[in-house]
Amino acid sequence: MDTTDEQEIAAACANCRKEEHDEIELKACLACRLVKYCGRDCQIAHCPRHKKACKKRADELHEEALFKQPPRAEDCPICFLPLPEALSHGGQTYIGCCAKMICSGCVYANKKQYQRSTCPFCRAPMPENDTDTLQRLNKRLEVNDSHACNEMRALYYHGENGVVRDKSKALEYFLRGAELGSVRAASFVARAFDIGDCVAKDSKKARHYYELAALKGNIASPCILGAEEAEASEYGKALKHWLISSGRGHYASLKNIQQVFIEGCATKEDFEKTVRTHQQYIDKIKSDQRDEAAVQIPRGIGPLDEPRI
């Protein structure tokens, strides 16, 4: 049975041809959404005939989702500019007292103006010691705050704020944050599997989490996925990944497209579009205080901190 036949009987069970009525509720195949079944037995029986078309359509749907423009970045709740997604553009900081992500430009301006440790958003006093910091994070963890998971991951990975360094514990917070929908956590998990830090190296799992992070809007993951496609000579797919990433300010993706353009694997239009969208994004997020903050924020100190924002 081909795909056309399956689409024609979508209103009936693909196996037994029973039509949907009050007593029978058909359920669509979760992978391809092309056919429906009246129950699991019919789905299993029909699998040998449907498997090939199902996989083809499922792959098409996944690719369509992967190459869609990612969700728009959140705005800083203070300056109302889009939050920078890379450290080179000022980055962003999690504030535990009000559970807000604040652009580092506003954090820097607050510290510069008031010369005291207060929250830039709610003006609450910042934690005075390691115990206060951990208490605030644990309160946020109780309500499944994915950002708090990322912060706990950093503490355990580096052994900071009185926490004993424990990479296996850091990985637990990695995974919990990813399950809660954190873009950063998914990208960190992908990198962990990619380089074999905190966990055994696994290219398939790394690919899965890179794709998950890209779907959620991470800007570094499409760059890596594009590099994998380019290595396989799939330059069309590589360009799609890099266009998405460079359009959100990722400089390495811009340079990758420049390189394949020089090598004759990308058109002049592709390169011009990349430069234009990249610069439009930079102009949109730019501010003087973010430029100042970018100089003040220290870089990460470990391999898993390279994409840290």
β-pairing verdict for 36-37 and 92-95: unpaired
pLDDT in tens, 250-279: 889 999 999 999 988 888 988 998 899 999
pLDDT in tens, 132-175: 888 888 899 999 998 888 888 888 888 888 888 888 888 888 88
CA angle centred on 33, ends 29 and 37, rounded to 5°: 35
Torsion of CA 288, 294, 296, 302, to 10 degrees: 170
Q: Which residues contact 56 (CB under 8 A, 6 or more apart)?
A: 3
Question: Long-range contacts made by residues 171-177, C-beta under 8 angstroms, separation at least 24?
Answer: 171/198, 171/199, 173/149, 174/149, 174/198, 176/149, 177/146, 177/147, 177/149, 177/150, 177/153
3-state secondary structure of 10: coil
185 pLDDT higher than 90: no
6 pLDDT higher than 50: no
The percent of residues in the chain predicted with pLDDT above 90, rounded, is 20
pTM for this predicted structure: 0.76
pLDDT in tens, 31-51: 888 889 988 899 899 999 999
Which pLDDT value is given to residue 7? 44
- E strands in the chain: 27-28, 36-37, 92-95, 100-103
91 pLDDT higher than 90: no
β-pairing verdict for 27-28 and 36-37: antiparallel
Domain range summary for the chain, segments of one domain joined by +: 3-65
Of 91, 307, 86, 298, nearest to 192 by C-alpha is 307
